[in-house]
Structure 1
């Protein structure tokens, strides 16, 4: 059936070349010159004796200002029928563990992907997974090539499904390179992909470290407020106070902490995995109280936020690890180090927090700027504000730029 379909398609190609050549009032000699071939070749194409190389089809279609499908005379019904037959042939080959036929059909899919991408369904990968045919290196290599073609010609929505499938079928040797190339680019969480891989492959000894990172990441996502502070502050500040307290109470409970309300932001402990998130929530929490005129609560929130900044900025080791007190995350830590930000002819101390391809920064200069915002104008007349701002100033460590 596929052979008959291809024959019909090639016959249509010859007819379309002849029709379009005449439409453009070109001789076979003139068309041959345009395509860099001989008049005899054009003649053979038009009568169906031979056919142009498949790589030439996009160029020929472009010259005639048409599509490859139109050039081949393929209808939507024929496309759908062809793809359904190809899919069925693929499933049969995979279930029979016929490696060569599986590879041949995958190559056929790859060759036609640009024209028929809307018809391909990623059940192809599922079929391979069912019988573990990806363990054959030749099949796996063809899967890589097909994935690259998908990334090249298909919409982004199709990329995610392929990355997901390849992440648990790629071999150990190539896995990191694949995730480096595609997972980060498509903003897919590496840890989640690895967790699924180890679960699907029953590699249970590898799951625990990845489980830690997923739990940490999800907790961070849950407690992080939106970056646009003004969006929240322009709404009901009572609602945002409730939001902050809910998130911080949840975070502290996970970490076996039960601080009083004055230490809700810091948790009454040292710097932990969520110190930057605590600072961001603290700034918004204090601003919401200030907007309501609840000054004692605003100063308590301001001071506890400063306490978190002081804890992390007091670290002097160039490189260190930050963990937490949660039993569920025992042994998990962020790689942290001191960096120096160049600004206005000086270097300012900042701290970077890293886990795999995730980064965050503690930058006291940014916190200074936040507390200088108009949100806190109602607090400035009180000496308590000056005392707390002086403590924040001391967290801004700067030095002259070395000329050595």
Structure 2
């Protein structure tokens, strides 16, 4: 995927519609500087911007990513190549997203985890002080239960945020 070629094509399409960079930016929800960066090949437009431009300019996304209007016989080959390139340069893999949302969940729930840990330690210490092995066993069982609940809630959060509910990765 040639970002310079893509950028020139976006510029041509914008000019065909007699739009300034600022006007196109308003339609997409970005600044004119962002449009300029796309047109100079500095950055690739995100997927949502490609969808909007596709509709606005009456071209398909493969044509935008190819940097030219495609003939019917060119479409299949261009689509395959664009898909391969997009996968290669995509910034977040599924593993990256899962790791990100796990860390985010842990940061948001650190106080609760500390409280649960202190509770388990308190019960364990109380068991040692009063020499009651039952409290020691209870603390171990509580530790396992807290760990299972924490892991289950964290993975539910990760699943909710990394996927759209259909098994597809959110982009």
Taking structure 1 as the reference length, the TM-score comes to 0.20
Whichever structure has more strand as a proportion of its residues is 1
Higher percent of residues as helix:
2
Q: Which has the higher contact order (CA 8 A, sep 6+)?
A: 2
TM-score (norm 2): 0.42
